[in-house]
Amino acid sequence: VLMCTRGILRSVVPPATNKPVVLRASGANSILAELSNEAVALSMDDAVRLNSCAVAAQVYIGSEYEHQSIKNIIQLVDAGMKVGMPTMAVTGVGKDMVRDQRYFSLATRIAAEMGAQIIKTYYVEKGFERIVAGCPVPIVIAGGKKL
Residue numbers annotated as active site: 120
H-type helices in 20-137, by residue range? Answer: 44-49, 66-83, 101-113, 128-133
Pairing of strands 26-27, 39-40: antiparallel
One DSSP character per residue, 28-52 reads ---TTS-TT--EE-S-HHHHHHTT-
- Quick one: how far is CA 133 from the chain centroid? 20
